[in-house]
Amino acid sequence: MKKHNVAIIGAGPGCLAIMDMISRDQLRQLQMHIVGIADINLQAPGLRQAQALNIFTTSNYKDLFSIPDLDLIIELTGDPDFSQAIQHEKPVHVHLMDHIVARLFWDFSRLEDEKLYAEKEVEEQSQELEASEEEARRQKRTAEGIIYGSPTPMFVIDKDHKIIYWNKACEKLTGFSREKMIGTNRQWEPFYRHKRPLLADVIVDNDSEQIKKITEKMGLHRSPVVEEGYEVEYFVPHLGEEGTHLYINAAPIKDDAGNMQGAIITYQDFSERVKMTQHLKASEEETRRQKKTVEGIIYGSPIPMFVLDKNHKITYWNRAVERLTGFRSEEMIGTDRQWEPFYPHKRPILADFIINDDLEPNKKLYKGMHLRKSPMVEGAYEAEHFFPHLGEKGTHLYFNTAPIKDDSGNIQGAVITYQDFSERVKMTQEIERREIFVQNLIQNSIDGIIATEAKGKIVIFNRGAAEILGYAPEEILGQMSYPEILSEETGTAIRDAFYGDQHGPPGKITNMEAQFLNKAKETIPLRLSGTLLYEVEKEVGSVVFIQDLREIRKLQKEKEQAERMAAIGRTVAGVAHYIKNILNGLQGG
């Protein structure tokens, strides 16, 4: 028969008593073998006795949980809270006998001793027999008190299936009082809707066929601790508000001749453990679901990205980054080749520095990449760089790297995303080229060009305007407005022209002549054309093109003078011709 390995917590006198009982074969049916004893008091008598017998001892009861093939822990501290803590902390396969149950069996054993002693002495002295019987009754009352006071729900039936003990813990578990249960065979009632035998009834009847059925249907198995005992786990749906998961242990009670006298059955409510297990399974399932969802999001994202673990190995490499780099996920995942698509030689990338939390001393590697902290994610960084050998003509990338942390704030990896902004760079360069071209047109125009913003400040003042009006551009731009370079009369005339129709449609001026003031406050005759500027139907400024009329008017005066002189010449010539004709006529007459 297999011996059962037993450890004891609490090395006081009770421990010595149990060790003595086992050594004297009082519990020979249990086949117990003590393999360890724990007590915080290193001078406890049980510890000293165990050390003398070369039995493992410790001051930390948790060390007992590591003993190979441990079957049972006997708790003798007398502390219900401590007993409950052991119940939750012990390995699942290890059974617990608390101090009350241990005392019960100890007292039962002592009762047996007393009974034998009384039978032996009955022939010698009737008074001693009477005293022994009284002691037996006292011990029985003590045993009954232990049973009723045990925190473990239990009841006992006799060989006629009548309940003889129904303790307080069983009352609390079932809601049935002992007054209603003792002396009846209603033990089934708290657990089933209809009358049927319990495990204790089957054991009392020694019904092997029924035991076989229960074994097949409910997973019944032999107790590793109590000979001829059985254990089973069962969910009682109508016990408690949401049903109750019970661990049931039943064992026969026999007399010295081996005759069946009844059975004892104990219950342990492990509903909380089941709920925790179910919650753990649900949590694991939810974690798996979320992991699949995250993987789907990562792989399906149009944004190129990959993920590194804390060992700098690639764990995710999505399809978008495959298209960007030309490297497939099959060849990248599980490697540390994240540098390869981006650099000609092996070097850490931004994600590697963030995982190691050593970016500061290595920022020089990102000089010219506009490295900065992310405004969106704490601990993240972003940068921009042109990678010359990525793509046919190189690729401009914006990349963002963020740490992945656990609930304790420890870095477990990093995620890095890329955005190809090569087209934006091309567009920006084209815009800059056009801007330069436009600026060249403006600055090199032979006409003066003056533009204002919504509040009237001059924002464009080209070289032509500077030459005409005598101001340097830096004196004008952002400093002066139209009224400062116009007379009040001219300013009014231009405003009227912009908002009237004398010099073109409203909002435009075509070939209007006006007088501007130059830096020396001299009046300059100008011809101007212009337009008001609008944005979403809102006036945001104006632009005018001015032409200096001084040279033109000078040429016009010279032309007019020449034309007058020519007219005088023609008149003089005509008069001379006329006079000549008269003279010729006179001579001929």
What pLDDT is stored for residue 435 in this prediction? Answer: 87
* Helix (H) or strand (E) run with residue 556 in it: helix 550-588
Q: Which residue has the higher pLDDT, 164 or 18?
A: 164
Q: Name the CATH superfamily for 445-548.
A: PAS domain (3.30.450.20)
Q: Residue 25 pLDDT more than 80? A: no
Give the residue-averaged pLDDT of 352-380.
85
DSSP string over 413-425? EEEEEEEE-HHHH
Question: What rounded mean pLDDT belongs to the chain?
Answer: 85
What pLDDT is stored for residue 212 in this prediction? Answer: 82
**Helices H / strands E in the chain, number of each:** 18, 22
What pLDDT is stored for residue 300 in this prediction? Answer: 79
Which tens digits make up the pLDDT trace of 209-228?
888 888 777 788 888 877 88
What pLDDT is stored for residue 317 in this prediction? Answer: 94
User: How many whole angstroms separate alpha carbon 347 and alpha carbon 295?
Assistant: 27
Specify the CATH class of 4-97 in words: alpha beta
Q: Classify the phi-psi angles of 536: left when phi > 0, otherwise alpha if psi is within -120 to 50, otherwise beta.
A: left
The domain segmentation of the chain, as residue ranges, is 4-97, 153-269, 301-420, 445-548
What pLDDT is stored for residue 132 in this prediction? Answer: 64
User: How many whole angstroms separate alpha carbon 400 and alpha carbon 380?
Assistant: 7
Which tens digits make up the pLDDT trace of 382-394?
999 999 888 888 8
Q: Which residue has the higher pLDDT, 364 or 309?
A: 309
Give the residue-averaged pLDDT of 151-177.
91
Lowest mean pLDDT among 35-44, 130-139, 459-468: 130-139
Give the model's confidence band at 126: pLDDT under 50 very low, under 70 low, under 90 confident, else very high: low
* Axis crossing angle, helix 99-122 with helix 126-149, rounded to the nearest 10: 170
CATH architecture label of 301-420: 2-Layer Sandwich (3.30)
Which tens digits make up the pLDDT trace of 463-483?
988 888 888 988 888 888 877
Please, what's the largest Cα pairwise distance for the chain?
213
As to burial, measured by CB atoms within 10 angstroms (0-12 exposed, 13-18 middle, 19+ buried), residue 167 is buried
Q: Are both 301-420 and 445-548 of the same fold?
A: yes
Q: How many other CB atoms sit within 10 Å of the CB of residue 307?
A: 21
Give the residue-averaged pLDDT of 82-106.
83
What pLDDT is stored for residue 225 in this prediction? Answer: 78
Q: Residue 131 pLDDT more than 70? A: no
pTM (predicted TM-score): 0.42
Most confident of 124-133, 266-275, 321-330, 441-450: 321-330
CATH architecture label of 153-269: 2-Layer Sandwich (3.30)
What pLDDT is stored for residue 108 in this prediction? Answer: 60
**What one-letter code names the amino acid at 357?**
D
Give the model's confidence band at 306: pLDDT under 50 very low, under 70 low, under 90 confident, else very high: very high
Q: Which residue has the higher pLDDT, 375 or 295?
A: 375
